[in-house]
Structure 1
């Protein structure tokens, strides 16, 4: 991807929040790889399209979202995220804010930093009521990146977000699913929620050399389970 996610400032600033962001992300890669699809140090782009066992098949756009979490914690006040930790897949990465450029397009995480995740700063912060959106590269021109193993997460795995208010929001994974970008359930992924939830998003599936993009998105659905002092 060329460093931006096409969109309009009207959509992003018109009160649609994360739902508007969803409409942008589903058709655009958060990955930047060479035109031939190769990645330095790898024979081919990583194949991480398979959803977790029991998850709906790729492109399943209908049906209800994940079951309401039983142990959901009360939402937290708004606070910027500063670091993401996922022990099960060895993620320990700082956040960068994703903002609009002068043309009204949302900038993607910098492609030259393999260990960085992006948060749409005008959307819900991790721990607030609603669905907070975090995006990361699966690979870049420099090799595998922060969300390379995202599709391998399992229900019950923990995701920790350290916040600027010196709290750590702990999320429990509900499901890990893969959706075709041309059949993405944006309302399910980005719609309003009654509690604090998290969406981790990267690319997956087959890499299309002509489009220079992956055909699918991997989405981790998680809910706020607890919080603690940092």
Structure 2
């Protein structure tokens, strides 16, 4: 008989490791090729005002009851003009999150072995910040604000609506695995891309993470 403790242990064992996937992503994208004259165009980073430490912002919204599990098919983030299809992916051989093909900058990956967006738990969405052609789907993730909306269209014909609680940036050497990937008693969402410093030799040195929770759902 499988207990809740067993399930939690299994989930922890299959959770993504610290996001070394950003280094892989950057190298697969053909390195840093977006330039403005001779100066690199670096992705915007979140301000300290969008971090948890700055407080909840001007308002907070109550969490909605979790939905039954259903796979995501698209994600929309109006505040940063994202409207992209979602591809279900697992883990790479090194235990890091797998990522969408580098050649398609407008696609998002969902960690399919974790929670579905809108269902109870912590759902993970990840996408490129850039590729060899220029800025990609989550290039502007660092400009997302508390209270912003993330809408996930699901295969059951419903759209799960999330509100952003915080947006933070972490260096790879200080990535808070439990905080980002840990279990949740409500329906939560993490939206992740590369960020932090950049090295031409090793790629991005960190991640931008947007934290959000479910506030409602509507028919698509």
Tell me which interval the TM-score lies in, with the shorter structure as reference length: 0.7 to 0.9
One of 167, 190, 195 as aligned partner of 1:199:
190
String of CA shifts for 1:63-90, please: whole Å, max 9, x gaps: 9x989x6510000111000010011111
Question: Which has a greater percent of helix?
Answer: 2
Distance 1:18 1:139 in 2: 30
Structure 1 gaps of 5+ residues are: 1-13, 58-62
Alignment gaps of 5+ in structure 2: 1-8
Deviation at 1:55, TM superposition (A): 4.1
Match of 2:6 in 1: none
From 204, 207, 214, give the equivalent of 1:214.
Answer: 204
Query: Contact 2:51/2:167 (CA < 8 Å) preserved in 1?
Result: no
Q: Residue in 2 aligned with 1:5? A: none
> How do 1:100-115 and structure 2 match up within 5 A?
100=91, 107-115=98-106
**1:20 and 2:15 aligned:** yes
Given that 1:49 and 1:206 are in contact with CA atoms closer than 8 Å, whether structure 2 keeps it comes out as no
- Give me the whole-angstrom Cα distance separating, in 1, the residues matched to 2:115 and 2:12: 7
Which residue in 1 is equivalent to 2:46? 51
- 2:122 aligns with 131
SS of 1:15's equivalent in the other structure is helix
Q: State the Cα distance separating 1:108 from its structure 2 match.
A: 1.6
CA drift at 1:97: 1.3
**Cα deviation digits, residues 188-229 of structure 1 (max 9, x gap):** 111111100000000112211111x11120000000011010
Work out the number of aligned pairs and report it. 207
For the Cα contact (< 8 Å) 1:52–1:153, is it kept in 2? no
Cα pair 1:18 1:123 within 8 Å, conserved: no
C-alpha RMSD of the superposition: 2.8
After superposition, give the CA deviation of every residue in 1:106-157 in whole Å (9 maximum; x if it has no partner).
5321101010000011111100111100000000012110001000000000
Once residues 153 and 119 of structure 1 are traced to their aligned partners in structure 2, the CA distance between those partners, rounded to angstroms, is 19
Q: Which residue of 2 aligns with 1:10?
A: none
What's the TM-score once normalised by structure 2's chain length?
A: 0.83
Distance 1:160 1:112 in 2: 24
